[in-house]
């Protein structure tokens, strides 16, 4: 057993807010509307956890031409409407963050998403009060998104912790790879209703798999 970390870094989408299914559904619609036929499963496999700039480049490549003017903005608008109607917190998200904070540990968010998106999703799910504004970090703040380590290193440095003092809670292989590249321990969250292959993918990327967020506080001191 090792000592507890100093900083716990939470991903946002799929860890705190249950946004990934909504995002992937709306992204699938947008991609097919751009005459790039992809199934929901193909979109999920190719783009889950990815930065929008990377997704946009790949769709344009598959299309063989630039995307229509306003394509990204139209996708964001449709997703925002869907979030307003459907978005919920991941079960146990608030209780988990509060339990970690009661342990005396620092907490922050490090997400691929834009700051405006996090303001919306955290607000809609009532989780916005859990993190100070200067403890919410977006990949737009660093040169390279996940799976590069830049975002995690930036979050740790800004919060005043060394990478070895950080534990990351992630739900995508891209995020796990980025956190491991930053020299951080990773807990990979895979909901119990997700396929075992998802858990295997996170484990293969270097995460210790947890099937409920409520497991996180008790796992923090276990190496």
Confidence category of residue 223, pLDDT binned at 50, 70, 90: low
Residue pLDDT, tens place only, 113-171 = 999 999 999 999 999 999 999 999 999 999 999 999 999 999 999 999 999 999 999 99
How far, in Å, CA of 10 to CA of 179, rounded?
A: 11
pLDDT for 190 beyond 80: yes
Residue pLDDT, tens place only, 36-79 = 999 999 999 899 888 899 999 999 999 999 999 999 999 999 99
Give pLDDT, residue 210. Answer: 96
Domains of the chain: 7-18+88-219 (3.40.50.1000), 20-86 (1.10.150)
Give pLDDT, residue 106. Answer: 97
Judge whether 170 and 187 are in contact, CB under 8 Å: yes
Confidence category of residue 1, pLDDT binned at 50, 70, 90: very low
Q: Which residues, including other chains, have CB under 8 Å from residue 36's CB and lie 6 or more apart?
A: 59, 62, 63
Give pLDDT, residue 51. Answer: 87
Helices (H), the chain: 20-33, 40-47, 52-63, 71-86, 93-102, 115-124, 150-159, 173-181, 196-205, 216-219
How far, in Å, CA of 98 to CA of 112, rounded?
A: 23
Rounded average pLDDT over 203-218:
96
Give pLDDT, residue 222. Answer: 61
């Amino acid at each position: 057993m090792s000592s507890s970390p100093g900083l716990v870094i939470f991903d946002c989408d799929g860890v705190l807010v249950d946004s990934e299914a909504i995002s992937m559904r709306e992204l699938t619609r947008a991609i097919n509307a751009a005459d790039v036929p992809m199934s929901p499963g193909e979109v999920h496999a190719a783009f889950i956890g990815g930065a929008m700039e990377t997704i946009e480049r790949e769709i344009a490549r598959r299309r063989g031409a630039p995307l229509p003017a306003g394509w990204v903005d139209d996708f964001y608008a449709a997703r925002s409407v869907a979030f307003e109607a459907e978005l919920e917190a991941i079960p146990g998200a608030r209780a988990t963050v509060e339990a970690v904070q009661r342990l005396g540990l620092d907490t922050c968010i490090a997400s691929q998403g834009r700051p405006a998106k996090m303001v919306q999703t955290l607000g809609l799910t009532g989780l916005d009060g859990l993190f100070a504004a200067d403890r919410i970090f977006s990949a737009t703040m660093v040169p390279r998104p996940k799976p590069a380590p830049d975002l995690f290193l930036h979050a740790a440095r800004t919060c005043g912790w060394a990478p070895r003092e950080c534990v990351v809670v992630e739900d995508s292989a891209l995020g796990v790879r980025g956190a491991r590249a930053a020299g951080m321990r990773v807990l990979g969250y895979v909901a119990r209703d997700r396929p075992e292959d998802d858990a295997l993918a996170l484990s293969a990327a270097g995460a210790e798999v947890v099937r409920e967020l409520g497991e996180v506080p008790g796992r923090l001191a276990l190496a």
